[in-house]
Structure 1
Amino acid sequence: MRAAMVTALGGPEVLTLVERPDPVPAKGEVIVRVRAACVHPADIAARVGQIPGGPVPPPFMPGWDIAGEIVATGAEVTEFAAGEQVAGMIPWYLTRGSIGAYAELVAADPDWLVPIPPGLDPIAAATVPLNGLTARRALDMMALTEPTDVLVTGASGGVGGFAAQLATQQGHSVYASATHDDEDWVRGLGVHTVVPRSAQLPTATVVLDAVPLGEPAGAAARPGGVLLSTRPTPPVDPAKRVRQEVVLVQLDRPALRQLLESVAKDQLRTRVAATFPLAEAAEAHRRFEAGAVRGKIVLVP
């Protein structure tokens, strides 16, 4: 099989297409033929060696999200069979590149996977796991028992977009920050108010800093409120009594199944900016790092 490997820490050029032996399922594993793999900021961070826990020594394989077809199952696998369409999240924080999504075939733990609902395109499905589960985790961490006002930065992005929709569906008044070119798309998510990125952020009881912006988001959190971010940000003045936490994604199969079903039913929106063949993984990273990407970039092995 072919895989895109990080052969040295550095720029996009270190992503190299290599030939590797086809994986054989061990006991309790399945083999997934990857039809789509999403490119994430975490992949870029791993490639340049700026990830929690320190850099992963090359060579390693990036990639968290996969969608595809099961082509083989190992002993004691009863939940899935060859031919089933699945999507899932490789827990890259555990595999650290020994298994990644940038490949034609992936040996996966069935606990990482759920069925793709009928009619949902694998490219769209691949945009959901990491971003959707992070957004779902953020909503759970908010621990809101009644409707309130929620500010989401980066609402045009993957995590922010899903979080804005989920919070709106829970009855919260969502103020969504977005760049000028994305305002119409974010408005279509059903949020209460779209806040131009150039404007000062309004104050809110709960702030999800999905970009993250850091200090401006902290300043927007009301005293006694909640500030969640996707990466560590500067501490808020203790006098404000703001509960400040970092959102860390967790594998949650029931939640992922529900997210995919919602996308399949058009109850949640996602968008794809561009697709690239696996052989052009380096170019996909260049496109991502160039910025102004409207939606997700997806590799199609």
Structure 2
Amino acid sequence: MLGVVAAALGGPEVLQVTELPEPEAGPGQVVVRVRAVCVHPADVAATTGEIPLGPDVPPFLPGWDIAGEVASVGPGAADFAVGDRVVGMIPWYVTRGAPGGYAEFVAADAAWLVRLPDELDFASAATVPLNAQTAHQGLALVSLALLPPGSSILVTGASGGVGGFAVQLAVQAGYRVLAQAAHDDEQWVRGLGAHEVVPRTVELSTVGPVAAVFDAVPVGAAAAAAVEDRGVIVATRPTPPIVPARGVRQELQLIRLDRELLADLVGQVAAGRLRTRVADTMPLTEAADAHRRVLAGGLHGKVVLTAN
């Protein structure tokens, strides 16, 4: 089978299309014929060395979110049968690319996967697991603040995958949502249900004050300027500590796989209750070019690699 391996740390040029042994399903595993794998900023960060990988890597395979069909079933994986449509998240924070999703076949633990409804195509499904779970789990940290109903929340990076889901889930939760949109993306963000759309060029200290900030970019100190005293900020990557004098609570949301939650979120997307978008699909063999596009920015949606 073909896979895309990061042979060294560096830019997109380190990604090499390589012939790899086809995996076999071990106990509790299924082999997924990958039809789509999402290209995340986290994949780019891994190849450039921004994510600590340990002494034994590279080489490794990038790729968190996969969608495809079950090709074979190992002992103890009775939840699935050959031919089932599935979507799932490889817990890359554990596997560190062994396995990764940039391959035609992946031996995946059955616990990483959920069934993919027929109403949802492979490419769109592959944009859901990491982004939607991160958004949901981050908003759960906001809810710990026991904010009154209708409290205001600012979502930065609302044009992106995590931010877009955060806007929709915050609206579902009853918050008044202010969403910061990238240039030319205001209409999309407004369509996600945001009560107010804030241009990316606006100084956030002039916004609010809001009870909470979901900092999906994250922008760090600039987001802190928008939150009220004793409010809460949830960031999706480590940011510098905030001066504690105002009693602002600062939380860090790092993804964790939750199969039950993933099944619910995929079902909501399939039913049209949550929206996602794909900027473009590219063949798996063009992964390096896909990384270049992510680095260049300006995408309206996710880039998804596809395999036959």
TM range (shorter): over 0.9
Q: Which amino acid counterpart does residue 61 of structure 1 have in structure 2?
A: L
Aligned twin of 2:95: 95
Aligned twin of 2:170: 167
Aligned twin of 2:302: 296
Aligned twin of 1:236: 242
Superposed counterparts of 1:13-52, under 5 Å: 13-52=13-52
- 1:123 aligned to 2:129? no
User: Would you say how many aligned residue pairs link Structure 1 and Structure 2?
Assistant: 301
From 281, 286, 293, the equivalent of 1:287 is: 293
Moved more, 48-57 or 66-75: 48-57
Q: Which amino acid counterpart does residue 228 of structure 1 have in structure 2?
A: V
- Indicate if the aligned counterparts of 1:219 and 1:236 stay in contact, CA closer than 8 A: no
Moved more, 289-298 or 137-146: 137-146
- Indicate if the aligned counterparts of 1:49 and 1:55 stay in contact, CA closer than 8 A: no
Normalised by the length of structure 1, the TM-score is 0.98
Normalised by the length of structure 2, the TM-score is 0.95
2: CA distance, partners of 1:41 / 1:55: 22
Summarize the Cα distance change of 1:63–1:242 in structure 2 as closer, same or farther, 3 Å threshold: same
Deviation at 1:29, TM superposition (A): 0.8
2: CA distance, partners of 1:24 / 1:253: 23
1: CA distance, partners of 2:296 / 2:64: 21
Deviation at 1:54, TM superposition (A): 5.3
1: CA distance, partners of 2:43 / 2:55: 12
- Indicate if the aligned counterparts of 1:46 and 1:56 stay in contact, CA closer than 8 A: no
Aligned twin of 2:257: 251
1: CA distance, partners of 2:37 / 2:56: 20
From 198, 201, 214, the equivalent of 1:195 is: 198
Deviation at 1:52, TM superposition (A): 4.1
- 1:112 aligned to 2:112? yes
2: CA distance, partners of 1:52 / 1:3: 22
What SS does the aligned partner of 2:240 have? coil
1: CA distance, partners of 2:59 / 2:227: 42
Q: Which amino acid counterpart does residue 68 of structure 1 have in structure 2?
A: G
Q: Deviations over 1:254-274 (max 9, x none)?
A: 111111111111111111111
Summarize the Cα distance change of 1:84–1:280 in structure 2 as closer, same or farther, 3 Å threshold: same
What SS does the aligned partner of 2:251 have? strand
2: CA distance, partners of 1:34 / 1:170: 34
Q: Which amino acid counterpart does residue 212 of structure 2 have in structure 1?
A: V
- Indicate if the aligned counterparts of 1:211 and 1:230 stay in contact, CA closer than 8 A: yes
2: CA distance, partners of 1:95 / 1:287: 25
Aligned twin of 1:278: 284
What SS does the aligned partner of 2:245 have? helix
Deviation at 1:118, TM superposition (A): 2.1
Deviation at 1:212, TM superposition (A): 0.7
What SS does the aligned partner of 1:119 have? coil
- Structure 2: gaps of 5 or more residues: none
2: CA distance, partners of 1:80 / 1:53: 32
Aligned twin of 2:133: 133
- Indicate if the aligned counterparts of 2:139 and 2:214 stay in contact, CA closer than 8 A: no
- Structure 1: gaps of 5 or more residues: none
2: CA distance, partners of 1:199 / 1:24: 52
